[in-house]
Chain A
Amino acid sequence: MSLGPERLARHIVGLPKSGIREFFDIVSTRRGVISLAIGEPDFDTPWHIREAAIASLEQGKSHYTGNAGLAELRRAIADYVRDRFGGAYDPMREVLVTVGASEGLDLALRALLNPGDEVLFHEPCFVSYGPEIAMAHGVPVPVETRVEDNFRLSIDALEAKVTPRTRALLVNFPNNPTGAILEPEDVRAIADFAVRHDLILISDEIYAELTWGGKRHTSFAAVPGLKERLVLLNGYSKAWAMTGFRMAWVCAPEWMMDTILKIHQYQIMCAPTPSQYAALEAMRQPAEDMAPMLRAYEMRRNYLRAAFAEAGIPMHNPAGAFYAFPQVGRFGLSSRDFAVRLLDAENVAVVPGSAFGACGEGFVRCSYATGIDQLKEAAARIARFVKTL
């Protein structure tokens, strides 16, 4: 057998390249771009958290921790999940510290899927969901969410795609890229659907703290009786602005966690120790740390909504995360062409909605994890640009 693509793993080679990656290559050739294309906080990690990471290194805490993570960190996570979201987890048996929520998702899928098992997930969505399912030898089955429903996940759409081979449902609210959230009745209906079809529910709640207009996140962890079929993913990246620390957690019932932990232990050993000490510090005063960032995000979101409305760009109400998902289809360009021409004409980067699934066509994602001055300038340029179309 010669050396070439045929020697590579077929289920990986066949995966599409990320549309984000392609757009990044275009953007990175240019200078002075105002980027609304960044999916991470513009805030630096609160200083006391960074300082705790430094101190841990000074104290020589540079060794492995237990596979599942520091016991005191797992206790703090269990307390936070209970107090903030209403989920009861045993820190020693049902909580695992992971390298990003992406690792948690990968672990859950690999622990749960056998080749050919189908997994429902909704689009538009984070770019890795489909590929992650495929890499775990599952069959990704996308379910559309629609702007008419404020991008909430409808039970009818789910019922249309469920088959006897369906094993799991993966959801992400507040949502990247649409900014959609679920109402409490949606959460109950989706949980009922999972029970009715005997599915495992994997809920990526990484944006749980970021909800606007007085809304509070309803976690699947709070649904009575769901715990035994729920994998709860969350972490420090968004709410604490700790993306580079790669700190997250999985909460899952004991029957699943043994297997999830087995994969983690063989492939990762443990999450990086200084990051774990930083995360432990982050648990000391979460509300205080987040408050100024959350206030800033909400005001920027309000600004962007008003600015787009003024410019005649239709948009649903983004009630969570730090993304706006305006509808640009009416300007007669594909979302990719819109993004490329906006970049050419005004040096503003947004992400084509098609990067997040076929039904993202006709939209672009604008992150407002950027300072208000930059945001003002970007909104003014976008308004000027759409007038030329």
Chain B
Amino acid sequence: MVESLLEILRNNAKESPETMAKMLGVAPEAVSAEIARLEREGVIRGWQAIVNDDLLPKGHVTAVIEVRVTPEREGGFDRIAEQVSRFEEVDAAYLMSGGYDLLLFVSGASLLSVARFVSEKLATIHGVLSTATHFKLKTYKQSGVLMAKPGEDGRLAVTP
């Protein structure tokens, strides 16, 4: 049931327990209990709206930053990664294989505020060797959702 339940919630976190219960063939209470369990165990970490920032009147800047760091004798990348993750400008942080070590998704009110974060906060952390900042120009897909308005159902209304 967990996989199917999470699939429903990934598509629509606001789906009602009654509907989910019908879809899964269980009682609504069982659905609510399962969600509570997943929250308690930290599998579900939170509930967020998927927002297309491009449509907001106020400018909002998102950047992807590749960071190379010196791993430390104790703990490897974890200490620096956690330190970087604590900045509220950082929306997401991942340790990567390949040409750099950390990949950060950073957002700010303006180009300048992101640039300032990089030059004043990120680059100055001891152990950070280099950064490469790429600014997002347009969003096509986010969290599995296409940002373009869905097209019409191209099917005929009645078919055998």
Residue numbers of A with Cβ under 8 A of B are 18, 20, 23-24, 27-28, 33, 35, 37-40, 42, 126-128, 176, 292, 295, 299-300, 302-303, 305-307, 349, 351, 355, 372-373, 376
Q: Identify 16 residue pairs between A and B in the complex whose beta-carbon atoms are under 8 Å apart, listed by A's number.
A: A18-B160, A20-B159, A20-B160, A23-B158, A28-B158, A35-B158, A37-B157, A38-B155, A38-B157, A38-B158, A42-B153, A299-B23, A299-B24, A303-B19, A373-B12, A376-B19
User: CA of A300 to CA of B153 in the docked complex: distance in angstroms?
Assistant: 18
User: CA of A23 to CA of B158 in the docked complex: distance in angstroms?
Assistant: 8
Knowing A295-B4, A295-B7, A376-B19 are in contact, say whether A302-B160 is a contact too (CB < 8 A).
no
Contact (Cβ within 8 A) A27 B159: no
Interface of B, secondary structure class, is loop
Contact (Cβ within 8 A) A24 B158: yes
Residue in contact with B22 in the complex, picked from A128, A292, A303, CB distance below 8 Å: A303
User: CA of A355 to CA of B158 in the docked complex: distance in angstroms?
Assistant: 12
Contact (Cβ within 8 A) A28 B23: no
Q: Which residue in chain B gives the minimum CB-CB distance to A300?
A: B23
Measured as residues with beta carbon below 8 angstroms from the partner, the interface class of chain B is 10 to 19
Chain B residue numbers with a CB within 8 Å of A40 are 155, 159
Whether, in the assembled complex, B156 has its beta carbon less than 8 Å from a beta carbon of chain A, the answer is: yes
Chain B residue numbers with a CB within 8 Å of A349 are 157-158
Whether, in the assembled complex, B8 has its beta carbon less than 8 Å from a beta carbon of chain A, the answer is: yes
Beta-carbon contacts of B1-38 to A below 8 Å, as 1s and 0s?
A: 00010011000100100010111110000000000000
Minimum CB–CB distance from B139 to chain A (whole Å) comes to: 19
Contact (Cβ within 8 A) B23 A302: yes
User: CA of A127 to CA of B160 in the docked complex: distance in angstroms?
Assistant: 7
Q: Which residue in chain A gives the minimum CB-CB distance to B5?
A: A299
User: CA of A283 to CA of B75 in the docked complex: distance in angstroms?
Assistant: 45
Knowing A300-B23, A302-B24 are in contact, say whether A33-B159 is a contact too (CB < 8 A).
no
User: CA of A38 to CA of B24 in the docked complex: distance in angstroms?
Assistant: 24
Knowing A302-B25, A303-B19 are in contact, say whether A39-B157 is a contact too (CB < 8 A).
no
Minimum CB–CB distance from A20 to chain B (whole Å) comes to: 5
User: CA of A307 to CA of B16 in the docked complex: distance in angstroms?
Assistant: 14
Contact (Cβ within 8 A) B23 A39: no
Chain B residue numbers with a CB within 8 Å of A24 are 156-159
Chain B residue numbers with a CB within 8 Å of A292 are 7
User: CA of A303 to CA of B159 in the docked complex: distance in angstroms?
Assistant: 22
Q: Which residue in chain A gives the minimum CB-CB distance to B150?
A: A371
Contact (Cβ within 8 A) B23 A27: no
Contact (Cβ within 8 A) A38 B23: no
Chain A residue numbers with a CB within 8 Å of B156 are 24, 38
User: CA of A141 to CA of B153 in the docked complex: distance in angstroms?
Assistant: 37
Residue in contact with B159 in the complex, picked from A38, A300, A376, CB distance below 8 Å: A38
Chain A residue numbers with a CB within 8 Å of B24 are 299, 302
Contact (Cβ within 8 A) A128 B160: yes
Which parts of B20-59 form the interface with A (CB within 8 Å)? 21-25
Chain B residue numbers with a CB within 8 Å of A28 are 157-158
Chain B residue numbers with a CB within 8 Å of A303 are 19, 22-23
Chain B residue numbers with a CB within 8 Å of A37 are 157-159
List 4 A-B pairs, minimum CB-CB distance, nearest first: A306-B22, A24-B158, A299-B23, A37-B158
Minimum CB–CB distance from A304 to chain B (whole Å) comes to: 8
User: CA of A246 to CA of B116 in the docked complex: distance in angstroms?
Assistant: 57
Chain B residue numbers with a CB within 8 Å of A295 are 4, 7
Contact (Cβ within 8 A) B160 A39: yes
Q: Which residue in chain B gives the minimum CB-CB distance to A302?
A: B25
User: CA of A199 to CA of B69 in the docked complex: distance in angstroms?
Assistant: 75
Chain A residue numbers with a CB within 8 Å of B12 are 372-373
Contact (Cβ within 8 A) A33 B157: yes
Contact (Cβ within 8 A) A42 B155: yes
Contact (Cβ within 8 A) B22 A302: yes
Chain B residue numbers with a CB within 8 Å of A42 are 153, 155
Contact (Cβ within 8 A) A35 B157: yes
Chain A residue numbers with a CB within 8 Å of B155 are 38, 40, 42
